[in-house]
Amino acid sequence: PLEAYEKTRRSLEYDLKELWYNIRSRQGNLDENDLAQMQDVYRTLRSHLIKLRAADGYEAFREQETAELATLVQDRLHVLQNPKHCDTAKKLVCNLNKGCGFGCQVHHVCYCLVVAYATGRTLILESRGWRYNRQGWEQIFLPVSDTCTFSGTSKRDDFASGKTEDSRVVQLPIVDFLKPKPDYLPISIPADIADRLEKVHGEPHIWWVGQFMKFLLRLQPQFQNIIDSHVSKLGVSSPTVGIHVRRTDKIGTEASLHSLKEYMVHAEEYFSIMEKVHGQVKRRVFIASDEPSVIAEAMNSYPRPEWEILGDAKVAQSASMGQRYNGAGLVGILKDVFVLAECDFVVCTFSSQVCRLAYELIQAKHTDASERFVSLDDVYYYGGGNGLVQVATAPHKPRNDEEIELKVGDKIGVAGNHWNGMSKGTNQRTHRKGLYPSYKARNLIQRVSFPKVKWWLQ
């Protein structure tokens, strides 16, 4: 009964949002008062759902089960990374120097750790000469292993799925060069914990990635102190909405420009719903950006006492192009990512790896944090990994040339959600690409038996 109940409760929340996205997209054609009333009904319904979850009697179970699963994954990673006999252990060597930003590099390391886990190998992370810190990863983060940090040999075989099982030391290329792609890459989840995970989490694949990020991003004490004092100096405390505004080099190449207001309407929405549940709350918003002027704009346009805008323009300055790849740039991005991860909710663009990283880390801090986000562009994805597939839960007859037909059970490779009630994707049965109503499909997360899934028992 719990599984069916949870599925229905999450569906209610998902479909309600889709209904509102659809109404909201008709803004110009609707009477202002009608729209305001519909928005208030929507917010009221969302607040009922929050109260329903709090009162359904399952929250203690959700919390305990999520905590147990987190301990299980962290313990497994610890065992994997600290083999009894390092000299004879099988190893996977991964080089941090992917020529991209911090978020992208951390996703690269996370992919390496997933492959290490799936193939039962200890990850050896090589990071000397890292663009953010020449001396390497271990100066900033705890080493990925306490006992086994060198490959011990210069003889390495290039990773080849299914062919290098017997090699002792294997070198993993960046995911872009991996062919064929193993099915265990994100966004797949491990079959052995999938039932438990799906019961307590709305987006189990993001929680799974979040656990790997949590393991990887354990700071060295001196950097932890820097972050802790930054968080307390800023004054972040619950509830805070985190907004990440990615500008500079990203605009026009990989993402479109979004005005500050586009982000802030979602902060407003979040607090309005919270107020229906808890009574008046402080509208506290933390802004992270690579564009310093955004923070000043927010402070001017959303003044006290109605709003409390938190942000550090100096940190944003350190992120601007030309200054990014050095010690200050690194401390800056660490501050912003970890503060975003402390927030109760994030509004950002999932096209940015910084934003996806923050959202993954949030999953490790709450019990089912799958609803704690708004993305202004992409749906969540894992670059280079397996793409999102949905399954049709209702039939759909195309109403125009842009739409595609759905039969219940059809699988759809998702290209994106237009956040107006419609999603775009390719029906794998008909091979037709086009639009379909988002509420007529649900995520289908691949469950994969990780090849060496019993290694920690040996």
Token output for 288: 């992270």
The CA-CA-CA angle for residues 237, 242, 244, to 5°, reads 150
For residues 298 and 123, what is the distance between their CA atoms, to the nearest angstrom?
43
Minimum distance, C-beta of residue 125 to ligand GDP, in the bound complex (Å) = 18
* The only residue of 83, 103, 202, 421 in contact with ligand GDP, by rule CB under 6 A: 103
Which CB sits closer to ligand GDP, 378 or 405?
Answer: 378
Residue 219, SS3 per DSSP: strand
Q: Does 368 bind ligand GDP (CB under 6 A)?
A: no
Minimum distance, C-beta of residue 21 to ligand GDP, in the bound complex (Å) = 24
Minimum distance, C-beta of residue 377 to ligand GDP, in the bound complex (Å) = 11
For residues 41 and 164, what is the distance between their CA atoms, to the nearest angstrom?
58
For residues 458 and 456, what is the distance between their CA atoms, to the nearest angstrom?
6
Residue closest to 345 by CA, chosen among 316, 319, 315, 375: 375
Stretch that binds ligand GDP, among 95-103, 144-152, 215-223, 416-424 (CB under 6 A): 95-103
CB-based contacts of 79, cutoff 8 Å, min separation 6:
456
Q: Does 319 bind ligand GDP (CB under 6 A)?
A: yes
Minimum distance, C-beta of residue 437 to ligand GDP, in the bound complex (Å) = 29
**Contacts with ligand GDP, 238-277, as mask; x by CB under 6 A:** ------x-x---x---------------------------
Residues in the chain: 458
Report DSSP state, residue 427: E
* The only residue of 81, 145, 353, 438 in contact with ligand GDP, by rule CB under 6 A: 353
For residues 440 and 421, what is the distance between their CA atoms, to the nearest angstrom?
10
Instruction: Check if the beta carbon of residue 358 is closer than 8 Å to that of residue 375.
Output: no
Stretch that binds ligand GDP, among 32-40, 62-70, 211-219, 331-339 (CB under 6 A): 331-339
Q: Does 332 bind ligand GDP (CB under 6 A)?
A: yes
Which CB sits closer to ligand GDP, 10 or 324?
Answer: 324
Which CB sits closer to ligand GDP, 102 or 439?
Answer: 102
Which CB sits closer to ligand GDP, 324 or 440?
Answer: 324
Burial class (CB in 10 A: 0-12, 13-18, 19+), 25: middle
CB-based contacts of 206, cutoff 8 Å, min separation 6:
187, 359, 360, 363, 370, 380
Residue closest to 319 by CA, chosen among 338, 306, 308, 334: 334
Q: Does 131 bind ligand GDP (CB under 6 A)?
A: no
- Binders of ligand GDP among residues 274 to 293 (CB under 6 A) are 288-290
Q: Does 18 bind ligand GDP (CB under 6 A)?
A: no
Closest residue to ligand GDP, based on beta-carbon distance: 101
Interface residue list for ligand GDP (CB under 6 A)? 100-104, 244, 246, 250, 288-290, 315, 318-319, 324, 329, 332-333, 336, 352-354
